[in-house]
Amino acid sequence: MTKNARIASVARKTSESSVSLELNLDGTGVSKISTTVPFFDHMLTAFAKHSLTDLTVTATGDTEIDVHHTVEDTAIVLGQAIKEALGDKSGISRFGDASVPLDDALARAVVDISGRPYLAHTGEPAGFEFHLIGGHFTGSMVRHVFEAITFNAGLTTHITVLAGRDPHHIAEAEFKAFARAFRQAKALDPLVSGVPSTKGAL
């Protein structure tokens, strides 16, 4: 099986934010992240590292109002870049499943590079969505990031928080579990010929 370069470069500019992103799905997890939202930088760095995706992100926006626009638009661009880099999805494993602990927290993610956007996201403790992680990143943004990535990349994603008390740990476990599941799903499988679907397309 010949391996084609699975890279993408996507930019998005609105009145609320400006995002420039480059990725290589067959990288080693090297990243250079600057979104002006420190906790989100931390999560994207973890995603790159644990999915073995080389990722460069530069983003700015109206964070004086809220981090929402910058984070959402960056996640949209990441999803678009993933979709572009995957190409016709020929030769991929397609499915990935990972459980990741972080001290008190435990999260499971299952990813299907299906071409059918769907997110099932459960288990975050009551009140998590209102917590300001690092004093600036609202817990509700965690689900919102996965929604934006999933719908723009064309993934079916199930994320379940199985345990957790510390909001930072819960969020980070979710991102790392998603990264590890995505790493499996995007991997090229030498036993797969063509697109892994009975329909012949994903």
**Closest by CA position to 190, among listed 91, 52, 88:** 91
Q: Is 135 left (phi over 0), alpha (psi -120 to 50) or beta?
A: left
In angstroms, the Cα distances linking 190 to 2, 3, 90, 175 are 10, 10, 11, 27
Residue 191's SS3 state is coil
**Binned average pLDDT, 10 residues per bin, the chain of 202 residues:** 80 97 98 98 98 98 96 98 97 98 98 98 97 96 98 98 98 98 97 91 90
What's the number of domains the chain is made of? 1
CATH assignment of the domain containing 34: 3.30.230.40
Looking at the domain assignment, is residue 1 inside a domain?
Answer: no
Looking at the domain assignment, is residue 191 inside a domain?
Answer: no
Q: What is d(CA 15, CA 69) in angstroms, rounded to the nearest whole number?
A: 10
pTM: 0.97
Q: What is the pLDDT of residue 4?
A: 80
Per the structure, the complete domain to which residue 92 belongs is given by 7-186
